[in-house]
Structure 1
Amino acid sequence: MPDRLSELSRSVADRVAIVTGAGSGMGRATAHLFADEGANVVVADLGADRVQAVVDEITAVHGGERVLGRVCDVASADALRGLVDATVERFGGIDIVVNNAGVSLLNSFLAEDDDEFESNWATTLDINLTSHARLVRYAMPHLLDSDSARIVNIASTEALVTTAGLAAYAATKAGVVGLTKSMAVELGRRRITANCICPGPIDTAMTSEIPSEAKETYARRRVPLRRYGLPEEVAQMTLSLCLPAASFLTGAVIPVDGGMSIRHT
Structure 2
Amino acid sequence: MSDATSDFKQLSRSVAGSRVLVTGAASGMGRATARVFAAEGAVVAVTDLALADAERVAADIRARGDHATAWALDVADGDAISRVVGEIADKFGGLDIVINNAGVSGTSPIDGDGYDALWQRSIALLLTAHPRIIRAALPHLRKARHPRIVNIASTEALGATALHSPYSAAKAGVVGLTRSLAVELGREGITVNCICPGPITTGMTARISDEHKAIYAKRRTALGRYGDPEEVAHMTLSLCLPAASFLTGAIIPVDGGLMARNA
Question: Normalising by structure 2, what TM-score?
Answer: 0.97
Q: Letter of the 1:80 partner, please give it.
A: I
Which of 35, 42, 45 aligns to 1:42? It is 45
Whether contact under 8 Å (1:107, 1:121) holds in the other structure is: no
Which of 57, 71, 76 aligns to 2:60? It is 57
In structure 1, the partner of 2:175 is 177
Whether contact under 8 Å (1:35, 1:62) holds in the other structure is: no
- Cα deviation, residue 48, structure 1: 2.5
In structure 1, the partner of 2:230 is 232
Structure 1, unaligned stretches of length 5 or more?
Answer: none
In structure 2, the partner of 1:158 is 156
- Cα distance in 2 for residues equivalent to 1:246 and 1:5: 16
In structure 2, the partner of 1:67 is 68
- Determine helix, strand or coil for the equivalent of 1:145: coil
In structure 2, the partner of 1:22 is 25
- Cα deviation, residue 164, structure 1: 0.6
- Cα distance in 1 for residues equivalent to 2:153 and 2:119: 17
In structure 2, the partner of 1:142 is 140
| Percent pairwise identity | 54
Which of 199, 202, 206 aligns to 1:201? It is 199
- Cα deviation, residue 7, structure 1: 2.8
Q: Letter of the 2:12 partner, please give it.
A: S
- Cα distance in 2 for residues equivalent to 1:81 and 1:67: 20
- Cα deviation, residue 52, structure 1: 1.4
- Cα deviation, residue 119, structure 1: 1.1
- Cα distance in 2 for residues equivalent to 1:77 and 1:107: 26
- Cα deviation, residue 120, structure 1: 0.9
In structure 2, the partner of 1:8 is 11
Q: Which runs of 4+ in 1 moved over 3 A?
A: none
- Cα distance in 2 for residues equivalent to 1:23 and 1:5: 41
Q: Letter of the 1:14 partner, please give it.
A: G
Question: Residues 6, 62 of structure 1: CA spacing in aligned structure 2 closer, same or farther, 3 A cutoff?
Answer: farther
- Cα distance in 2 for residues equivalent to 1:178 and 1:25: 24
Pairwise CA RMSD: 1.0
Question: Normalising by structure 1, what TM-score?
Answer: 0.96
In structure 2, the partner of 1:125 is 123
- Determine helix, strand or coil for the equivalent of 2:133: helix
In structure 2, the partner of 1:87 is 88
- Cα deviation, residue 117, structure 1: 1.3
Q: Letter of the 2:201 partner, please give it.
A: D
- Cα deviation, residue 85, structure 1: 1.1
In structure 2, the partner of 1:247 is 245
Which of 182, 186, 189 aligns to 2:187? It is 189
Deviations 1:116-149 (A, max 9, x none): 2111111110100000010000100000001100
Deviations 1:44-83 (A, max 9, x none): 10122321110110010125xx211001100000111122
- Determine helix, strand or coil for the equivalent of 2:259: helix
